[in-house]
Structure 1
């Protein structure tokens, strides 16, 4: 070993000298700079607005939460939310108005707010003095007005920097007005989606009966709280009328349906806790225990809860959430510093009120008992099959050649990247091979199907265990007992963009709808969009090179070649690419995912991958659609196919 070897061992990092670390490296960021530098700490992901968890909806929620807190304090019963061109938002409430002397601090200085004072806000969502400041910092333009006692103070900001501040007389009603336009340099290509916004606003009204929210001039109002929520969201009818019970700081609603599995909607202080938490866990435990004790039979909890659709909302003093985005409750007690536990509070209410209700409504009790007995009968009928299937799945999980797992899972409670976890369900080894070689092994798993899966429509859940492929998929997702243990945040169906691929896609979605509908209802199922064409020009003389360079986000950067590549997802994109890249571009049509090389595939499953979320709404008439398309061959479907059959000629080969 020579002297250079010794130095390399000592220094490490390939023998390079360490970067100098001095006082100049120590920086202090202002509040607004810190939010802009580390937005993920405050709003989670950025995104473009295509998904409900994207940052622009967190910004909107943070503003509306303050108005909701005013309503909870009996100050103002209407909120106006206007979204212009799906880009700019204004929210006006008619509460007390932010105290004008501290208006600037209230919207621009972290850890500043009125909710540290429990006299002013006892059971609020926002308690940390962060929310609206993050909105200010992450907006290219932000304006706040406080209308109070005949005066209005108005302040405007750009990316968190104050640009104007004025006070004048006003005859408007007391309250607060906030305008913000998310910073497009951070939220690239963003757009507010009306359906996502409306769902958010409806949830607010369910939790705040009597509150009217005007959304672009349309009124949203709920008179029956969580009962309205279930009526508006259930895609199948309840076996008995919805049981709706309210108490001090708690409200529940539930019924049983003929769908498989369980489905829960939970809220804390008006905040939709999409990942549940201590209140939801308590409800699940005590609703099953109460029903079991009412009938005095040794029912399994899984049989009692099978088909249950329920909602719970509680109010907690100073709630503790597991992240700034407040989607999972971590509080153990109803108030800070001890007091009654959430588990006991929920349990006592459910035990008393549900038991009383069932004693008073014998018809409901009989219908519920029949549903539980049917679930028990079905479970026992397939007990042997289930045991064998579980053993088979357990063995397969040790070395499942169909599953290429990742390191980080959605069920990893304390992993900061768990939201990124996803699994691609592919057709055949060819497609799965390309994805496997180009995936992020930390967060992306791959499950390979063996050809077309079974059409599960109309079959009982026994088929999930009898069919090896379905059983292994269920085991890979870990959803046999519900979504609490779901291993991947996104379940992505990745099939070829041809007739066979569409059929496989439909069969997989049918499987989820039939046996795990909550997987779709909770927004976990997606379809991967992959390009149909690759348009490439190897020549250096290209029309309007500046336009091409700006539009081409996936050029072969870093390679010593003269050609520019565009990937096209539609025929229109192909035509535009030819116009941009001519003359005589090389065109390749991808006939299947297996034809896309791993080097190319990594672009399509990276941070900017195109996903289409599979959604489910009450108006979709899912059962009728499944009967028509997936049920036994009917004359109506045969006639439809005959009348609409199109013979598509093969496109001549266009690749050089």
Structure 2
């Protein structure tokens, strides 16, 4: 029996602000991560700093923000009022110190808790804040929240505003790297939500005059939408909506400039309001699923003292719009009911195109109703003894649970018994599940959603992910394609991506799909083993170990033992996110790679082909 630990005065500890943030970073910035996911902590740090600049802009101070992000250093300069010089140190290093507690100075700001820049400071190995105000400047520097340089106030000829520079701590964010596409989307969202603001990001200009209309133009395939984007604006609310030809629903929702990736009351009200308004307009009780099928929408609201369900503000809770005002639901419902109804009455061509889309969705739903019921019955029986799925204990859609742990949930999709066996034996059974394919999946390009139910493997995968009716109930934060790095493995990868892009594009667009990187080489001697993911890493490992180390080339996942596999899917897991670039059209992409345009594809392969002679010459250079 273990000795009992005495509980007395010595057991009670008080941590200062920086110690608490560094001990419990998840309370302040959500999950940590390495930058491979869009909601990883390093992007939250960037957001927290830019949010302050946006609040200045919203209050009418500063129309330009300069943002520079290098490999590990971030610089943000605004041209607002500048932090009062006597409070520069306090504002970035004392909890419960800030201007946002005075609602007359910051109404409807992104955050009201005054924690953001303190968290950035505490979680950075280098943090500098410099305020320029009325011809003077004050600078302070920190290391993991500890003040290292408290400079005196001196004269300055620079314009008013604030400059913040920081380097995230790589002992907290291990092996982190910024992904340009994530930052690009993040900066564009700021521009769309603040029409007239200019953000210069790494030398590029980001500017929007039409708000959410510009956002939906960028996010949707404008050549394939069913009617021109509807753009509606009111006091403290803006929305944009259209229907496309893709499957599923796609939404972008914002509160006070914050991208609420997990939605909340405003998005739920928006979805409900669209259905109610359209039913009333056409005077017919259409199925909600038929009305919302293929919808692409965006909503932004501004409220006083928003109530978020987490520190990172990704989901809006229940609240009134103002202290004595309507609820968020009734506020959104009332606006949509009037504004959308007016628009449809004034634009008959839009109303006709929208009705045509609804009727098409209704026909498609009824066509697959029979096979859908049979497939779902089969899936329910298979779930009791689903040999394809080795599930984990925690799930992303669990209503109660540790947010950090739920964000770690992932489903590995792998092929072959040996590979799935190795992952199954070495995985974390709390957060990692495995779905085993029996071979190459069916090429579903050009087929309707009926194939998802007719193909047993696709149907079981859909049920394992819980995405039949949308991604709100997604059971795993990350869907990880784990195939061999050979021709067959690449082909399986393409077939799975075709399935997701064709029928569940929102999974990819929302940053849930990843490719597992596994080492190509193992280089070792008697003292050390180094796993290498590229030939460059192999060369460095050989140089480090010297004296002719043993080199093993891994040809497939099945060759890696369960013990070794544990090294690659644990804390140091390397995941490559599947990202759609802004000018990528899904239909054209799939048609080129998975369609029957054989000559075009052959010419592309020939143009890109590199023979052994070329590779040798590159290595010599």
Q: In structure 1, how many angstroms separate the alpha carbons of the residues matched to 2:80 and 2:546? A: 60
**Does 601-610 or 409-418 show the bigger shift?**
409-418
Partner residue of 1:159?
A: 144
Partner residue of 1:330?
A: 317
User: Which has the higher Rg, Structure 1 or Structure 2?
Assistant: 1
Given candidates 294, 316, 319, the residue that maps to 1:307 is 294
Relative distance call for 1:179 and 1:572 in structure 2 (3 A) is closer
**Does 517-526 or 23-32 show the bigger shift?**
23-32
Q: In structure 2, how many angstroms separate the alpha carbons of the residues matched to 1:532 and 1:167? A: 55
Q: In structure 2, how many angstroms separate the alpha carbons of the residues matched to 1:294 and 1:284? A: 16
Q: In structure 2, how many angstroms separate the alpha carbons of the residues matched to 1:61 and 1:645? A: 41
Matched, 1:42 2:17: no
Given candidates 546, 561, 578, the residue that maps to 1:614 is 578
Partner residue of 1:605?
A: 569
Question: Shift in Å at residue 142 of structure 1?
Answer: 1.9
8 Å CA contact 1:235, 1:618 repeated in 2: no
Relative distance call for 1:66 and 1:533 in structure 2 (3 A) is same
Partner residue of 1:133?
A: 118
Partner residue of 1:554?
A: none
Q: 1:463-482 CA distances to partner (integer Å, 9 max, x unpaired)? A: 01111111111111111111
Given candidates 488, 498, 501, the residue that maps to 1:500 is 488
Tell me, what secondary structure is at the counterpart of 2:387?
A: coil
Given candidates 535, 558, 568, the residue that maps to 1:571 is 535
Question: Shift in Å at residue 214 of structure 1?
Answer: 1.4
* Ranges in structure 2 where 5+ consecutive residues have no aligned partner: 614-621
8 Å CA contact 2:72, 2:168 repeated in 1: yes
Q: In structure 2, how many angstroms separate the alpha carbons of the residues matched to 1:423 and 1:645? A: 33
Question: How do residues 570-649 of structure 1 correspond to structure 2 at under 5 angstroms?
Answer: 570-632=534-596, 634-638=598-602
Given candidates 395, 400, 421, the residue that maps to 1:409 is 395
8 Å CA contact 1:292, 1:298 repeated in 2: yes
Q: In structure 2, how many angstroms separate the alpha carbons of the residues matched to 1:573 and 1:93? A: 40
Matched, 1:469 2:457: yes
Partner residue of 1:529?
A: 517
Question: Shift in Å at residue 165 of structure 1?
Answer: 3.4
8 Å CA contact 1:140, 1:181 repeated in 2: yes
Question: Shift in Å at residue 375 of structure 1?
Answer: 0.8
Matched, 1:353 2:317: no
Partner residue of 2:91?
A: 106
The two structures have a TM-score, normalised by structure 2, of 0.94
Tell me, what secondary structure is at the counterpart of 1:116?
A: coil
Given candidates 209, 218, 235, the residue that maps to 1:232 is 218
Question: Shift in Å at residue 639 of structure 1?
Answer: 5.2
Question: How do residues 18-33 of structure 1 correspond to structure 2 at under 5 angstroms?
Answer: 18-19=4-5, 21-33=7-19
Matched, 1:399 2:400: no
Relative distance call for 1:400 and 1:365 in structure 2 (3 A) is same
Number of aligned residues: 609
Partner residue of 1:176?
A: 162
CA-based RMSD of the aligned residues comes to 2.0
The two structures have a TM-score, normalised by structure 1, of 0.89
Partner residue of 1:51?
A: 37
Question: Shift in Å at residue 420 of structure 1?
Answer: 0.7
Partner residue of 1:553?
A: none
8 Å CA contact 1:233, 1:617 repeated in 2: no
8 Å CA contact 1:206, 1:228 repeated in 2: yes
Partner residue of 2:264?
A: 277
Partner residue of 1:542?
A: none
Given candidates 372, 376, 382, the residue that maps to 1:386 is 372
Question: Shift in Å at residue 643 of structure 1?
Answer: 7.6
Tell me, what secondary structure is at the counterpart of 1:612?
A: strand
Question: Shift in Å at residue 22 of structure 1?
Answer: 4.9
Q: In structure 2, how many angstroms separate the alpha carbons of the residues matched to 1:241 and 1:139? A: 46
Q: In structure 2, how many angstroms separate the alpha carbons of the residues matched to 1:187 and 1:644? A: 36
Tell me, what secondary structure is at the counterpart of 1:339?
A: coil
Relative distance call for 1:90 and 1:494 in structure 2 (3 A) is same
Q: In structure 2, how many angstroms separate the alpha carbons of the residues matched to 1:223 and 1:643? A: 41
* Ranges in structure 1 where 5+ consecutive residues have no aligned partner: 1-14, 539-562, 650-656
Q: 1:200-230 CA distances to partner (integer Å, 9 max, x unpaired)? A: 1110010000111111332210011011111
Q: In structure 2, how many angstroms separate the alpha carbons of the residues matched to 1:645 and 1:123? A: 55
| Misfit runs of 4+, over 6 Å | 642-649
